Amino acid sequence: MNLLLIDPSELSAPDRVWLTDRRAVHIREIHQAQVGDRLRAGMLNGLIGEAEVLNLDASGVELALDFSQPRQSPSPLPVILVLALPRPKMLRRVLQAVASLGVKEIWLIHSYRVDKSYWSSPLLDAAVIHEQLLLGLEQAGDTQLPVVHQRKRFKPFVEDELPGLAAGRQAWVAHPYHAQPCPAPSDESALVAIGPEGGFIPYEVDKLNQAGLKSLSLGSRILRVETAVPVLLTRLFPVS
């Protein structure tokens, strides 16, 4: 936890918060904070400042927030990420990684090689997804919460919604065949789609191409989605 994230709804006064959840445990046990210590803290979807420990005991931690020298979050990546739903255990890690990398818009979609049972996983509950995103933001020192959409049907998404999302930006599907060379990193807005284990099937690649996505090769190695995502985002965007 490189940044303590506070939701505005948690404030008991404009500059006071009382935490009792995993953050309190982390402050006590990992940071081993003492009364008077100052921690990096951010308001969810807001600025970054500091929090001073006023009280701490086994029941929780009381903090005084100080935004007198506010800082901005790191720049977001100007990308829309479309991901074939990974298996649930991997989804957690992927959401954390994606949030830590600065992605702010994620579409989880169905695909032929996505096991239908994945869509019933409790890990797709909004509260669980929210928690993974927070973990990624806390890791990266970012306050801006990504938005995650879920689309359980491939065809309506790709026909009705994807062309609008892809319009006006570079749009790519990671796919090794008939691929364009990878462009140089750029700050311009982009959309990227990454398939499931085993990849999108040819019908799906056709539909994605028709929606305006060009095929992009990540090289001769087949990577797991949790590795492919950072590789792809690093190829497309410069260091920031």
Interacting residue ranges for a second copy, rule: CB under 8 A? 2, 74-75, 93, 96-97, 100-102, 139-142, 181-182, 217-224, 226-227, 230-231, 233-235, 239-240
Category of 212 on φ-ψ map: left (φ > 0), alpha (ψ -120 to 50) or beta? left
Smallest separation (angstroms) from a second copy to the CB of 239:
5
Residues 6+ positions from 221 with CB-CB distance below 8 Å: none
Smallest separation (angstroms) from a second copy to the CB of 167:
27
Nearer to a second copy, 205 or 236 (CB): 236
Nearer to a second copy, 42 or 60 (CB): 42
Smallest separation (angstroms) from a second copy to the CB of 13:
30
Smallest separation (angstroms) from a second copy to the CB of 138:
10
Q: Are 231 and 223 in contact (CB under 8 A)?
A: yes
Smallest separation (angstroms) from a second copy to the CB of 86:
14
Nearer to a second copy, 162 or 229 (CB): 229
Nearer to a second copy, 145 or 231 (CB): 231
Nearer to a second copy, 20 or 234 (CB): 234
DSSP letter at 180 equals: B
Q: How far is CA 122 from CA 98, 111, 152, in A?
A: 20, 19, 15
Nearer to a second copy, 88 or 230 (CB): 230
**What are the start-end ranges of the E strands in the chain?**
4-6, 11-13, 16-19, 38-43, 48-57, 60-71, 79-84, 105-109, 147-151, 170-174, 190-194, 214-216
Q: Say whether 34 sits in a helix, a strand or coil.
A: coil
**Bridge-based pairing state of the strands 16-19 and 79-84:** unpaired
Smallest separation (angstroms) from a second copy to the CB of 233:
8
Tell me the β-bridge partners of 51: 39, 65
